[in-house]
């Protein structure tokens, strides 16, 4: 079956620090990979995505590269801001012949706190 493992939090960084949140996966078929962000009291927002190997997803200064050889999709940002404080989820879907589905498999989430 599918699974996603991401680094345990919480992670506390000072403003302008470099961020890395590790994510590895196991999947059947050909996964698409996602990072979602959840701000306090809100639902999930798609942060970035990559649909095939070596694709790089990017948004709002965040980046992640789909690495098939290491089955990883680590999230990075060069300089975090207080407004980046949230919970980040790595997720995947797989699409294979005759079984189209949007079912997302999520990691446990990593809480990021950025202090001024």
Partner 1 sequence: KAGVTQTPRYLIKTRGQQVTLSCSPISGHRSVSWYQQTPGQGLQFLFEYFSETQRNKGNFPGRFSGRQFSNSRSEMNVSTLELGDSALYLCASSIDPPGQGHNEQFFGPGTRLTVL
Does residue 107 interact with partner 1 by CB under 8 A?
yes
Beta-bridge mates of residue 115? 14
Does residue 101 interact with partner 1 by CB under 8 A?
yes
Tell me phi and psi for residue 82, to 5 degrees: -55, -35
Does residue 43 interact with partner 1 by CB under 8 A?
yes
Alpha carbon 96 to chain centroid, angstroms: 22
CB 31 within 8 A of CB 50: no
Element (H, E) at 106: strand 105-106
- Contact pick of 3, 20, 26, 45 for partner 1 (by CB under 8 A): 45
- Contact pick of 42, 69, 70, 116 for partner 1 (by CB under 8 A): 42
The site for partner 1 (CB under 8 A) is made up of: 32, 36, 41-46, 49, 51, 89, 91, 93, 95, 99-109
């Amino acid at each position: 079956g599918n699974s996603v493992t991401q680094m345990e939090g919480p992670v506390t960084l000072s403003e302008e620090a470099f961020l890395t949140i590790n994510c590895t996966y196991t999947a059947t078929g050909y996964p698409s990979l996602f990072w979602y962000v959840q701000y306090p009291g809100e639902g999930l927002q798609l942060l970035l995505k990559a649909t095939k190997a070596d694709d790089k997803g990017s948004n709002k200064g965040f980046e992640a590269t789909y690495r098939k050889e290491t089955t990883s999709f680590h999230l990075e940002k060069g300089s975090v801001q207080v407004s980046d404080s949230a919970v980040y989820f790595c997720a995947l879907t797989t699409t294979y012949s005759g079984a189209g589905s949007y079912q997302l498999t999520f990691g446990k989430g990593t809480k990021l706190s950025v202090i001024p």
